Amino acid sequence: MRYDLSHKEASRQRIVEAASQRFRLNGAEAVRIADVMQMTGMTVGGFYKHFESKDDLLETAVSAALETVSARITTQVAGLGRSEALRAVISFYLSEEHVKHPELGCALAALGTEVAHFPPRVRREVSKALDAYADRLAFLMPGDTPAAQRGAFLILFPSMAGCVMTARAHKGSSTRAEILAGARSFFISAFCSPATKGPSQ
- pLDDT tens per residue across span 156-199: 999 999 999 999 999 888 999 999 999 999 999 999 976 555 54
Alpha carbons 30 and 42: distance in angstroms, whole number: 20
For the structural domain made of 53-196, what CATH number should be given?
A: 1.10.357.10
CA dihedral (173, 174, 176, 178) in degrees, to 10, reads 160
Q: Which pLDDT score, from 0 to 100, does residue 75 have?
A: 94
Predicted structure pTM score = 0.87
| Per-residue pLDDT tens over the stretch 112-139 | 889 989 999 889 988 999 999 999 999 9
**Which of 201 and 103 is assigned the larger pLDDT?**
103
Give the other-Cβ count within 10 Å of 172's Cβ. 8
- The candidate with the shortest Cα–Cα distance to 93, out of 69, 75, 64, is 69
Q: Is the pLDDT of residue 1 over 60?
A: no
**Domain spans in the chain, listed from the N-terminal domain onward:** 53-196
First-last CA distance in the chain: 57
Per the CB < 8 A criterion, the answer to whether 139 and 201 are in contact is: no
pLDDT, one tens digit per residue, over 71-103 is 999 999 999 999 999 999 999 999 999 999 999
Give the tens place of pLDDT for each residue, 18-57: 999 999 999 999 999 999 999 999 999 999 999 999 999 9
State the pLDDT at residue 4.
59
Supply angle C-alpha 185, 191, 197, rounded to 5. Answer: 140
Task: Output the pLDDT for position 173.
Answer: 86
